[in-house]
Amino acid sequence: TSEVQEYNVTTAYRMALETWANWVVKKINPVKQRVFFTSMSPTHLWSWEWNPGSDGTCYDELYPIEKQSYWGTGSNQEIMKMVGDVLSRVGENVTFLNITQLSEFRKDGHTTVYGERRGKLLTKEQRADPKNYGD
């Protein structure tokens, strides 16, 4: 019988990422191969995050968020810093495509009611109700 050690999300993610990074350093020839690491896509579903007092979604948003220091509640800055730290030690073996904060600004770029939810397109009735079904 072996005991299972539980870790918080950041520690577990760091352990997994460091294991992967060590593999990249040992197994990837940067002269012949390229490795890309894409950061997580953010969630910003609630307009109160960028417009206090509102209660909408991203539906009908026409402009990006302009505040350069903006981070939504769905992004974990501690994990983002840790990812940057681990990947900086890997060096040129990995190209880091940090889409998280860039995507944070684009509340106007969502598919809203025209995308999928749980693998299915929304019905005509659901699309007509963006307050409840828009992202």
Using the predicted structure, report yes or no on whether residue 2 has a pLDDT greater than 90: no
Q: Where do runs of H (alpha helix) occur along the chain?
A: 9-27, 77-90, 100-104, 124-127, 130-133
Model pLDDT, residue 11:
96
pTM of the entire predicted model: 0.73
Q: Which residue has the tokens 């699309």?
A: 127
Where do the domains of the chain lie? 12-111+123-133
Of 85, 88, 65, the residue nearest 77 (C-alpha):
85
- Reported as a pLDDT band with limits 50, 70 and 90, residue 6 is very high
Q: Quote the CA–CA distance of 60 and 112 in Å, as a whole number.
A: 8
Model pLDDT, residue 51:
84
Q: Quote the CA–CA distance of 118 and 84 in Å, as a whole number.
A: 31
- Reported as a pLDDT band with limits 50, 70 and 90, residue 17 is very high
pLDDT digits (tens, 9 = 90+) for 35-44: 999 998 887 7
Mean pLDDT over the full length of the chain: 87
Q: Where do runs of H (alpha helix) occur along 91-123?
A: 100-104
